[in-house]
Structure 1
Amino acid sequence: MSAESDSSEFIPPFASGNRITIEFCDRCRWLHRATWFQTELFLTFGPKAVSSITLIPWMSDDTAGRFRVWLWMEDEKETAADIEETGSGKKPVLVWDRKSEGGFPELKVLKQRIRDYVQPGQSLGHSDKKDENDKKT
């Protein structure tokens, strides 16, 4: 076995940059919803704006009904060693909490909130348009 294929020598890659965490109640069967949001966010922002999106399924009584989206903002000085030592260089931003917001986010609202942090001023195309109900008469 060569040194290149020895897994004991392998160091996993570090995802520097903005990171998103989606935590959800697995007992509520929200895995598909979480993966759908994950896919849509990756398609919208790409790796330059969002380097990773982590899904965390919860199954305890404390986390029943939970669906939260967190954003960890890039710190240009942050390194893999910093994250390993402290957990993260910065505190995350809670972008959405199903319990406090009264439900799941509309995808366009979630995209707008994340965009406002990672790419302010960036157009989201049709996701920036207001609903008919939002327009003033």
Structure 2
Amino acid sequence: MAGIHITDIEAAINYWRERKPSPDGVTLAPELRALAEVYALMVYHRQDEAAERGFPAAAYAAWQAWYQTQPDTPCIAICSTSQGDAECKGCGRRFDEVQRWPEFSPAQKRQVWRRITQRGEAWRFNRYAERAREAASAPASPPQD
């Protein structure tokens, strides 16, 4: 089962801190409290991932709200897997990840995003970085059935 990485929880916390700042420097919004509890337990237990299944409902909802602000796919419309490459030169995903992307859970997608971002070798991070920026700023299209 996929896990939600601590850096994604940190990003979600920062998202909510900006969206719902503390009125007095002490009080936290419910979304922040929920995420902070998960974060604190992860730090205490020295874990860098929390299982997506079993994630506390309020924390998962807060994380999902942040997740929805992120680009869904790393695709930049240059897919070398369609030409037989095992890993796409454009986005960095492996062939099976490109094929199965629609059925991946949010945590699975974020795991792939983390790996390709850390490697930073795909064209989306260098040669065609401007395409990635344009795609990220474009409004999300509704899911197609």
TM bin (shorter chain): under 0.3
Which structure has the highest helix share of the two?
A: 2
TM-score normalised to the size of structure 1?
0.26
Which structure has the highest strand share of the two?
A: 1
